[in-house]
Amino acid sequence: MTETMMPVNGIQVCIETFGEATDPPLLLLAGDASSMDWWDDEFCRRLAAGDRYVVRYDHRDTGRSTCFPIGSPGYSGLDLMNDALGVLDVLGVPAAHLVGFSLGGGIAQRIAVEHPDRVLSLTLMSTSAGSGDADPSRPDTAAGAGGVAGGTVSVVTRTLPAADIDWSDRKAAITHLIEEIRDRGGPFTAAEPHLRRLAERIFDRSADLAAGRLHHRLAGYGPPVRDRLAEIVAPTVILHGTLDQRFPAQHPTELADTIPGARLVWLEGVGHELPPRALWDNVLREILLP
């Protein structure tokens, strides 16, 4: 496991690798405003044990990567995609298995459409075909365990709005991160001690938590690729929680119906969250299948 600062597209990106560089590469793409810390260390090690050269990195404005002044990011969603390709370039990787969560899944879709030669396989977690459309992440219906859209639901938010958080206040930021994960999770979400360690690590590695929160929203997703998803040729698996209220059933179903040969695997009892440890065996098996 090696963490390194490397020049990518005129900025500095923090990159960490697991496993042997001679194994097939696998790039992990985190969600919006999310550093690579969200990908659990042990999860990465288990991927590497499956004969993969695992790469994770901090998006710009997260973790230790270059942070831009608040309100002036000067980049777009296309730059976030190009950063992912730039990470592969600096590591000398011509093509990789892409595993993307939420925004990371949108980045993976765009790469698969615009740079199909860089993609060995796609794993799309808790994401949508609507990346690039106006506000694709706020649908009105929720999915049941069978993946069929149900009635209108209200997303219950017990935490303060993110805009009201002083992200420079360590205690307040950590408390908010913990409660945010709980709000989006399900019965398998990790217990408080684990969430606190994660939140503390995220805060301590971040130059400015507020920057990523604001700037990734301002950057957007880039031009829509929904109408081109049928061009994807990489083997694709879609992993989606049955309790995901940000992207209910119609989102993964559309992906599965549109991407040729894609398989949709429902994760029972999982919300809009990276796969909890209780489901790792199934999730790892699906990722490592191609």
Specify whether the CB–CB gap between 10 and 32 falls below 8 A: no
Determine whether 102 is an active site residue: yes
Reduced to 3 states (helix: H, G, I; strand: E, B; else coil), residue 25 is strand
- Angstrom distance (rounded) from CA 207 to CA 168: 9
- Angstrom distance (rounded) from CA 44 to CA 54: 7
- Angstrom distance (rounded) from CA 67 to CA 14: 11
Q: Identity (one letter) of the amino acid at 92? A: G
Q: Which residue has the tokens 């690579």?
A: 36
- Angstrom distance (rounded) from CA 126 to CA 249: 10
Determine whether 59 is an active site residue: no
Query: DSSP assignment of 114-135, as one string?
Result: H-GGGEEEEEEES--TTBTBSS
- Biggest CA–CA distance in the chain, Å, is 49
Determine whether 115 is an active site residue: no
Catalytic residue from among 97, 215, 244, 251: 244
Catalytic residue from among 34, 35, 65, 102: 102
Number of H helices, E strands in the chain: 8, 10
Residues tagged active-site: 102, 244, 272
